[in-house]
Amino acid sequence: MKTYHGSCFCGAVAFEADGDLSEGTMRCNCRFCRKMRYWEMRLPDPDGFRLVRGREVLAETPRVDAADIDMHHWFCSRCGTRLWTEGDIAEMGGRFVQVVVPALDDASEAELVAAPIFWADGAHDNWWNPAPETRHL
């Protein structure tokens, strides 16, 4: 476990996240993840996420489907950098925080290259199984 430091491109938002890239990351083929080229690391404990600065410039991507799902995708309203997702979904084990891997400032190149990626099949609501094709993601 390591405390990573993350931020947006313009520096207005900063956070700390306790996680371990070597434990795995996730990308998926759902509509949101494809458009955002989303790559995330789920934190083992949601309380391991701390916003350091920038709450006033945060913006949330509006939900366009499944509005009853408690999931919130946060980004910097100044520069557009995707930062983290949080929510509370029973099928995902309850409350969770997932940080966007490219927003991590101090993840080494070696950590990023070695980080396992699980490619989820979100496009078919088959989240717990691998996507049939990933080369385009």
Domain ranges of the chain: 2-120
Element (H, E) at 32: helix 31-36
Place of tokens 């190149």: 109
Mean pLDDT for 29-52 is 93
pLDDT band at 66 (very low <50, low <70, confident <90, very high): low
Per cent of the chain over pLDDT 70 is: 97
Place of tokens 């949080």: 86
Mean pLDDT for 68-91 is 92
CB 25 within 8 A of CB 40: yes
Mean pLDDT for 6-25 is 98
The pTM is what? 0.90
Can you tell me the distance from the alpha carbon of 93 to that of 42, in angstroms, rounded to the nearest whole number? Answer: 12
Residue 108, SS3 per DSSP = coil
Q: Dihedral through CA 129, CA 137, CA 66, CA 128, nearest 10?
A: 10
Domain at 2-120, CATH class: mainly beta
